[in-house]
Structure 1
Amino acid sequence: MPLALIISSHVAGSRVGASAQAAALVQFRIDSMIVPTVLYGRHPGWGIPGGAPVPIELIESMLDGIEANGLFSQTDMVITGYFATAAQVRAAARSIDAVRAAPREGATPQAPARKPTVVVDPTMGDAGKGLYVPAEVAEAIAAELIPRADVVACNAWELQHLTGTDAREPQAAVRAARLLNKPTLVSSVQRGNEIGVVYADRKEAWLAAHAKALRAPNGAGDLLTALYAASILEGQTISYGLARAVGGVAETVTAANIWNAPELPIVAMAARIKQTSPTVRIERLA
């Protein structure tokens, strides 16, 4: 069974961060190991969250315990998200290196094992909010995690912050993504009355778009990252993986609005997040 290491926030009362991603990955029979960077009661968007950042010593100790149990050798995917301190970012970078260096069971020169995939969500800010982590955290993410990423999963504002290039509309997002020189998933891309997600690498680029929702609960980006990560582990094509991931998010946001739910109903939408949505259109950009 595939195994993911998620290093991000744990928020007890909101469907965001690592716990939201783990709930989504379960639907694809992917187990998760969560190393929390913060322990909050609710998303800060609701007000004072309660809880606190996790001390770096505790994070490092948890990672040491996972490694000591031989689980780095079994890790198929690493997902990073929210960090409260630059020291946490550096600990995540060291763990990525350790996961990649860990020997894979059953691997031979003739049949090498599949390498773990690293998905970095550079959680640092958003349009209308600006940078919402300390500047040193954003700098550490750019310096330590982006170079280690196999896929970068960011919103348009974060991509612009990383590259200094506008990324708000589809073709601009493609140009900005290619400056990272990494396969990149860009959310919150606008085109008229639509909102969508752009995927771009050196060879191809795609847009999955749908009508804008009146309201989107927190955590849509975290859910998108998890759903696209699942498609990588399944070996899906880029276009199908993107369409399915965006469809799962769109259907979950729509359900939240219909049910007037303040949080994303990820578990309730278990069957739908594994399917494409008729509300999402897929378009090749390059």
Structure 2
Amino acid sequence: MVAVLSIQSHVAYGHVGNSSAVFPLQRLGIEVWPVHTVQFSNHTGYGEWRGRVFDGQAIEEVVQGIAERGVLGGCDAVLSGYLGSADIGHAVVATVQRVREANPAAVYCCDPVIGDVGRGVFVRPGIPEFMREVAVPAADLVTPNHFELDLLAGTTTKSLSDVEQAVAAVQELGPRVVLTTSLVTDDTPEDAVDLLASEGGRHFRVRTPRLDLSVNGAGDAIAALFLASWLDTRDAGTALGRAAASVHGLLKATADAGSREILLVAAQEEVVAPSRTFPAEEV
């Protein structure tokens, strides 16, 4: 059985961070060991929330307890998302090193959460630099959105060719697989959104219909689903097709229901058997 150690934020109500990533992984038959970086009542997009943020030491203590069970050698991947501080980031990277020492074949999938188009950078000062200089170089797979890809590559991309060059720049930092989400280039139709998976000099694009909704947690879900499929196939194009179909199905069900939270539970069949598939086209 595949096992993934997922170090992310957690909310009691709704779906973001581990609350968005863990269940889809479990639905696919993956054993997940969630380690929470925060414990909040709900995601911060509501404007009000309660709970607390954990520090790097708290993360390391939980990981130490897992290590004492003698099971780190059975961990196939580490997944991380939003980092509340560089302190937590260093704990994540130290955990990756511990897992790799126990299982050299283990991979690290980093969702380099930094910001987004329209919102700009929304993480604390120092996090963008930490991502570029420490986390991304340590990763095997990274899943930036278009805004984050440009920031990591130090450029502004408009054409598909620009994006491919930016991907190559990010790969030079360390990761061999790059999934770019929320991609909009000069040839993306207004009613669509693109995703691009890149590995070994090859690029695969999936184009899905743009949906009229704004929810948190979609990026966390697609990072988890892409990692799961990549672990299963070791093929970026196939993993992209699977992950894109599942997330589109989840978001379509969410939009149809007018829900503010992703319907991960109600629409869980979309994770294992998406109602609509999308071809991954090599570009």
TM-score normalised per structure 2 = 0.92
CA contact (8 A) 2:144 2:180 kept: yes
Corresponding position: 1:273 with 2:271: yes
CA contact (8 A) 1:168 1:189 kept: no
Distance 1:161 1:49, change over 3 A: farther
Corresponding residue number in structure 2 for 1:192: 189
* Alpha-carbon distance between aligned partners in 2 of 1:13 and 1:276, rounded to the nearest angstrom: 25
Deviates more, 1:144-153 or 1:276-285: 276-285
State, as a whole percentage, how many aligned pairs show the same letter: 27
Question: Secondary structure of the equivalent of 2:280?
Answer: strand
Unaligned stretches of 5+ residues in structure 1? 105-113
2:143 counterpart (123, 134, 153):
153
Equivalent positions of 1:66-145 (< 5 A) are 66-102=66-102, 104=103, 115-145=105-135
Corresponding residue number in structure 1 for 2:156: 166
- What is the CA-CA distance between 1:26 and the residue it aligns to? 0.8
Corresponding position: 1:247 with 2:245: yes
* Alpha-carbon distance between aligned partners in 2 of 1:188 and 1:77, rounded to the nearest angstrom: 24
* Alpha-carbon distance between aligned partners in 2 of 1:279 and 1:242, rounded to the nearest angstrom: 11
- What is the CA-CA distance between 1:140 and the residue it aligns to? 1.5
Corresponding residue number in structure 2 for 1:217: 215
What do residues 31-72 of structure 1 show as CA deviations (whole Å, max 9, x unaligned)?
A: 111111111111111112322211332212111111111121
What do residues 73-99 of structure 1 show as CA deviations (whole Å, max 9, x unaligned)?
A: 110111011111111100111110110
- What is the CA-CA distance between 1:168 and the residue it aligns to? 5.3
* Alpha-carbon distance between aligned partners in 1 of 2:41 and 2:129, rounded to the nearest angstrom: 27
- What is the CA-CA distance between 1:118 and the residue it aligns to? 0.9
Distance 1:258 1:83, change over 3 A: same
Residue type at the aligned position of 2:105: K
Deviates more, 1:49-58 or 1:239-248: 49-58
CA contact (8 A) 1:157 1:167 kept: no
2:257 counterpart (246, 250, 259):
259
Residue type at the aligned position of 2:181: S
CA contact (8 A) 1:8 1:37 kept: yes
Residue type at the aligned position of 1:17: G
* Alpha-carbon distance between aligned partners in 1 of 2:7 and 2:269, rounded to the nearest angstrom: 26
- What is the CA-CA distance between 1:275 and the residue it aligns to? 3.5
The count of residues paired between Structure 1 and Structure 2 equals 275
RMSD: 1.7
Unaligned stretches of 5+ residues in structure 2? none
CA contact (8 A) 2:17 2:220 kept: yes
- What is the CA-CA distance between 1:170 and the residue it aligns to? 3.6
- What is the CA-CA distance between 1:203 and the residue it aligns to? 2.0
CA contact (8 A) 2:199 2:236 kept: no
Corresponding residue number in structure 2 for 1:108: none
* Alpha-carbon distance between aligned partners in 2 of 1:280 and 1:187, rounded to the nearest angstrom: 15
Corresponding position: 1:178 with 2:175: no
Residue type at the aligned position of 2:182: S
* Alpha-carbon distance between aligned partners in 1 of 2:40 and 2:160, rounded to the nearest angstrom: 35
2:280 counterpart (262, 279, 282):
282
CA contact (8 A) 2:79 2:109 kept: yes
- What is the CA-CA distance between 1:204 and the residue it aligns to? 0.4
Distance 1:144 1:74, change over 3 A: same
Corresponding residue number in structure 2 for 1:44: 44
- What is the CA-CA distance between 1:138 and the residue it aligns to? 2.1
* Alpha-carbon distance between aligned partners in 1 of 2:160 and 2:222, rounded to the nearest angstrom: 17
Residue type at the aligned position of 1:231: S
